């Protein structure tokens, strides 16, 4: 009958409307969730970038303070230099060792157990990379032996040291050997389980990373 056909058509129409409404709601919910996740992740990335900028600036300011120290500028007694470097090292919980490598071949370190030699174990290619770059920068990860304790992965911040008592002519390099955990802490906010974030130096070496990197983002 016409009444039955009308009722069936009405039911089908209402069912279609409900289905369309449900699909639209599901699509809107997915898009809203994606938008919120992206917004949260962008906020985490902005926070991470600010952390990195602050940390780099902090290391730069600390190195300027250290290299302009009056006792270091005079460089007379190796024992005194070792003491000064040790005092500066103790100011930073992230610092394993501080070393000065002068252009005349002199080496001074904050590790009093081994005052006159670089503490890198075996591979010095990280230092050669730093020699061929700008006035300051970060090395790739390398090994270090300090106070008879072996550090498997260390990131070295290097900057030129000038003679501030004369004309600021470069006289050597300062090495701040930093625990790699300090760099990992910079990217921890971006580790949300389904993304990958890495902090690299100017030569593309990964200093720290978070999350899992699958084949699609090799």
Rounded to whole angstroms, the Cα distance separating 190 from 89 reads: 30
How many CA atoms lie within 13 Å of 85's alpha carbon, on the beta-carbon side?
28
Q: Is the pTM of this model over 0.95?
A: no
Structure confidence at residue 98 (pLDDT): 92
d(CA 30, CA 24): 10
Burial 173-192 (b: 16+ CB within 10 A, else e): bbbbbbbbebbbebbebbbe
Q: pLDDT (tens digit, 0 to 9) for every residue of the chain, 218 residues total?
A: 777 777 777 777 778 877 877 777 777 787 877 788 778 778 888 888 898 899 999 999 999 888 888 888 777 777 788 888 999 999 999 999 999 888 888 888 888 776 556 666 667 788 877 766 667 889 988 888 887 788 888 999 998 888 766 666 788 889 999 999 999 888 887 776 667 888 888 888 889 888 777 666 55
Q: What is the pLDDT of residue 218?
A: 54
Phi, psi of 111 (to 5 degrees): -90, 105
pLDDT of residue 26: 79
- The token duo for 8 is 């069936």
Count the Cβ atoms, other than its own, within 10 Å of residue 62: 19
CA distances from 48 to 34, 126, 186, 213 (A): 21, 26, 6, 18
């Amino acid at each position: 009958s016409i009444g039955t056909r009308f009722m069936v058509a009405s039911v089908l129409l209402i069912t279609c409307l409900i289905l369309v409404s449900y699909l639209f709601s599901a699509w809107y919910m997915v898009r809203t969730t994606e938008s919120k996740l992206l917004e949260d992740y962008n906020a985490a990335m902005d926070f991470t970038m600010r952390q990195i900028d602050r940390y780099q600036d902090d290391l730069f300011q600390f190195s300027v303070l250290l290299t302009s120290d009056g006792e270091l500028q005079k460089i007379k007694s190796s024992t005194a230099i070792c003491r000064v470097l040790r005092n500066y090292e103790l100011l930073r919980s992230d610092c394993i060792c501080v070393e000065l490598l002068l252009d005349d071949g002199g080496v001074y370190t904050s590790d009093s157990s081994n005052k006159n030699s670089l503490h890198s174990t075996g591979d010095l290619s990280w230092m050669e990379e730093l020699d061929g770059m700008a006035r300051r920068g970060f090395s790739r990860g390398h090994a270090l032996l300090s106070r008879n304790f072996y550090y498997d992965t260390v990131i070295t911040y290097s900057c030129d040291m000038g003679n501030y008592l004369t004309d600021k002519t470069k006289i050597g390099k300062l090495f701040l050997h930093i625990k790699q955990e300090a760099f990992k802490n910079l990217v921890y906010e971006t580790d949300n389980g389904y993304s990958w974030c890495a902090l690299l130096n100017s030569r593309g070496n990964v200093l720290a990373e978070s999350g899992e990197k699958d084949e699609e983002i090799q």
